[in-house]
A and B are shown apart, each in its own frame.
Chain A
Amino acid sequence: MIDFHTHPVMVKELLESDPGLVQRIRDAFGFFFPALPLEGFLLEMDEAGVEQAVLLPVDCTTAHGGPIVSNEQIAHLVDQNPRLIGFASVDPNQADAPKRLEVAIKKLGLRGLKLDPALQRFYPNSTEQAYPVYQACAELGVPVLMHCGMSWTPLGQAKYAQPLLLEEVIQAFPTLNFILAHFAWPWIHEATMLAVKYPNVYLDTAILYSGTPQDALQHVLVEQVGINVVERSLWNKIVFGTNYPRIDMRRCGRGIQALGLRPGTLKSILSENACRLLGK
């Protein structure tokens, strides 16, 4: 199982080495839970049955004064354990963002790009700010995991994260794979439409707004999207993601496995689709 959506905002060793990061995680990211040693995170993965986890930073330097974990810090964590897969983040509000992305991918060995328009405060269909970053991503051959829908970050604004803003982008960059996080809740149907229509659009299962992970997954995938749609049209377009540590990885894993999906569909969602996106 691969968890395609985790934020290392609770790693004790990281927080102890960077007091400014601690403050940004509280003020901008809105996370206040006690830190856990990296070993504890790996144990959490073991207990959840997660073999590998994608670590996501968010570079919100222009909007909030610095990154929520830098690319260098992500690379440092990845160097410590092969079960960790690092994504980069760049700030589209900075002119050198494409160059920074190239360094992160080519020099630091990171494997994809994370953007969070709600927190970074940019419109994802902005040709001036965002398109050069997508162009760099397409040239580097790495996927983009895009925050979509409601943002739990106290300073996040959902107006930047509406999935329909992405349709023109998806058309403009047909070779670039986009993963729309959180199934774009509450804009589930718009996100589903994009994933059904476009070969380069994927969705992740980090859906959390109320109830338990099992409740939320059941409500969205079974009752709203429909299990037949998942089985027929989305089986190869969904990746398992938890948004850990905002949500319990163990209970997310149990939630997806309780949906009653066919074994082949489950296998695709839990690992095969992620492997394909990561070029594994």
Chain B
Amino acid sequence: MKTILKRISILTHHETELIDITPRILELVQSSEIQNGTVFVLSLHTTTAITVNEGLPDLEKDITEMISRLVPEGQAYHHARYLPSDGQMAVNAPSHLRGALLGFQVFFPIEDGHTVRGSRQTIYFVELDGPQQRTYVVQIMGE
């Protein structure tokens, strides 16, 4: 079995932002030459998410507004204190909790060299505490 692991870094531009990474994932699967297997996409951060939805600007706005409604700023979160291991004030509990709701990874099967996904499924890297430099991992496994 062949395994390929790619780390992809991006500089995000906004506090909350849905970035379409579908073309990059499809391209990596194609160039891997793996015909049958699985592609995993994983964010390396706890204040980001990886999610799948229909790639429409109105839905992107709805998702952004939904997570803000579900996890608002200004609540009495425990995670609001100095963190000596970072040298920073940890004041981003909402970002962590929004990430926990959306999830950090997705996977798709690969069949005959193509990523199997619904025609309306767009893969998003979701920034929840930007702007920052972020990395996600794409692992392609198969034969």
Which positions in A face B, CB cutoff 8 Å? 12, 29-37, 39-40, 43-44, 46-47, 152, 154, 208-215, 245-248, 250-251, 254
Which residues of the partner chain B approach A254 to less than 8 Å between Cβ atoms?
73
Specify which chain B residues have a CB less than 8 angstroms from the CB of A154 in the assembled complex: 84
B84-112: contact bitstring with A at CB < 8 Å (1 yes, 0 no)?
Answer: 11111101100000000000000000000
CB nearest to B45 among chain A residues: A34
Q: Name the 9 nearest CB pairs between A and B, nearest first.
A: A31-B87, A43-B131, A247-B89, A212-B91, A30-B87, A211-B80, A212-B80, A33-B86, A208-B89
Query: Are B92 and A248 within 8 A (Cβ)?
Result: yes
Least CB distance from B19 to A in Å reads 14
Closest CB in chain B relative to A208 CB, distance in Å: 5
Query: Which residues of chain B come closer than 8 Å to A213, judged between CB atoms?
Result: 89, 91
Q: Which residues of B contact A47 (CB under 8 A)?
A: 13-15, 130-131
Instruction: Specify which chain B residues have a CB less than 8 angstroms from the CB of A40 in the assembled complex.
Output: 11, 131-133
Chain B residues contacting A33 (CB-CB under 8 Å) are 86-88
Residues in A whose Cβ lies below 8 Å from that of B13: 43, 46-47
Judge whether A39 and B11 touch: CB under 8 Å.
yes
A246 touches B88 (CB 8 A): yes
B3-33 with Cβ < 8 A to chain A: 11-15
Are A43 and B11 closer than 8 Å at their CB atoms? yes
Chain B interface, number of residues (Cβ within 8 angstroms): 22
Q: Which residues of A contact B81 (CB under 8 A)?
A: 210-211
Contact of A34 among B12, B130, B133 (CB under 8 A): B133
Name the one of B82, B130, B132 contacting A210, with C-beta atoms under 8 angstroms: B82
What would be 29 A-B contacts, judged by CB atoms less than 8 Å apart? A30-B84, A32-B85, A33-B86, A34-B133, A35-B133, A36-B133, A40-B11, A40-B131, A40-B133, A44-B131, A46-B13, A46-B131, A47-B131, A152-B87, A154-B84, A209-B82, A210-B80, A210-B81, A210-B82, A211-B80, A211-B91, A212-B74, A212-B80, A246-B88, A247-B89, A247-B91, A248-B89, A250-B15, A251-B73
Query: How long is the Cα–Cα vector from A211 to B92 in the complex, in angstroms?
Result: 10
Kindly list chain B residues whose C-beta atoms are within 8 Å of the C-beta of A247. Answer: 88-89, 91
Q: How far is the CA of A215 from the CA of B85 in the complex (A)?
A: 22
What 12 new A-B contacts, CB under 8 Å, besides A152-B82, A246-B89? A31-B86, A32-B87, A35-B133, A40-B11, A44-B131, A245-B88, A246-B87, A246-B88, A247-B89, A248-B89, A248-B91, A250-B15
- CB–CB A37/B89 < 8 A: no
For the complex, give the distance between the alpha carbons of A270 and B86 in Å: 28
Shortest C-beta distance, A26 to chain B (Å), equals 8
